[in-house]
Structure 1
Amino acid sequence: MCFTVRKEVFVGEQGVPEDLEYDAYDTVAVHVLAVRADGVPLGTGRLLYGEAAAAKVDGDPSVGSLGRLAVTKAARGLGVGAALVRAIEEAARARGLAAVNLHAQTHALGFYERLGYVAYGPEFPDAGIPHRAMRRVL
């Protein structure tokens, strides 16, 4: 169901090519999924840690990588995204990580800032969408 949400949000709504949306990291990531009581998926995200995260986060194995955070259109504004971020942070703490990095779409910077993330570095494109790197110390 995680991939269904990602396809709906990233591929369907944002036009990210499917071959860019799914990658080899999906097989080693910790995936989180928010669902309604009746089982309907509301949102998803993933945590990379260890060697997978180090490859994405300047070789630092103490920093996890939060990514692929997606909330369905019907669930936006309900706190699902924040709950997913907190669940991913808890998974990072459980693995002994000191911080979490992410690449935020620039329109979502305020969302992540309210959750304690700090932007750094220049804006860059990812799948044709402007992003900024952000980090939160746990």
Structure 2
Amino acid sequence: MTVTIARVTDPTDCYAVRHTVFVGEQNVPVDLERDALDATAIHLLATVAGQPVGAARIVLTRDTGKIGRVCVLRDRRHNGIGSTLMCETLEILHDMPGITRAALGAQIDALGFYEKLGFTAYGDVFDDAGIDHRMMERRVTR
């Protein structure tokens, strides 16, 4: 299985994957899944054999790239797609002048996944769309 990760200017396929995972599976309200940050975010789409299977976005703020909306379709999980997607987000941040930190709000069930990628949790547990999360961060090394 070959996974392709691409930056996309038209995030329609990203939105479709996100809708399936967050709204369909996790019952996130539609009006919370999409937000104003989508307009300025960098959108990444993961595909296998041309079919969309995962998505993520990056929002830049000062020295930080906030990674969010990371998802992989249920039947494609546990095949390395999420890790590949995250590695690409970190590569993009690595190549951006002035960006020294990657941050994300991780669902509690996904803390271990992000820890394996070098992220460290900080702060208290918080509710986002009815799901417990914790903030995580890591340095973007050059």
Is the pair's TM-score, using the shorter chain for normalization, greater than 0.5?
yes
Alignment deviations for residues 40-97 of structure 1 (CA, whole Å, 9 cap, x no partner): 1110000011xxx3xxxxxxx1111000001001110000001111111111122221
Which of 89, 103, 106 lines up with 1:104 in the alignment?
106
Aligned to 1:85: 86
Is residue 2:142 matched to residue 1:131? Answer: no
* Aligned mates of 1:127, 1:87 — CA distance in 2: 26
* Aligned mates of 2:39, 2:23 — CA distance in 1: 19
Per-residue deviation, 1:34: 0.7
Looking at secondary structure, tell me which structure has more strand per residue: 2
Percent identical pairs in the alignment equals 46
Per-residue deviation, 1:16: 0.2
Look up the SS of the partner of 1:15 in the other structure: coil
Alignment deviations for residues 5-29 of structure 1 (CA, whole Å, 9 cap, x no partner): 0000000000000100001110110
Q: Which runs of 5+ in 2 are unaligned?
A: 1-12
* Aligned mates of 1:67, 1:33 — CA distance in 2: 13
How many residues are aligned here? Answer: 127
Look up the SS of the partner of 1:77 in the other structure: coil
Q: Which runs of 5+ in 1 are unaligned?
A: 54-60
Which of 23, 42, 45 lines up with 2:56 in the alignment?
45
* Aligned mates of 2:101, 2:76 — CA distance in 1: 27
TM-score, normalising length: structure 1: 0.90
Amino acid at match of 1:94: D
Aligned to 2:120: 118
TM-score, normalising length: structure 2: 0.87
Looking at secondary structure, tell me which structure has more helix per residue: 1
Aligned to 1:69: 70
Amino acid at match of 1:30: I
* Aligned mates of 1:92, 1:21 — CA distance in 2: 23
Aligned to 1:27: 39
* Aligned mates of 2:39, 2:88 — CA distance in 1: 19
Displaced runs of 4+ in structure 1, greater than 6 A?
Answer: none
Query: RMSD over aligned Cα, in angstroms?
Result: 0.7
Aligned to 1:58: none
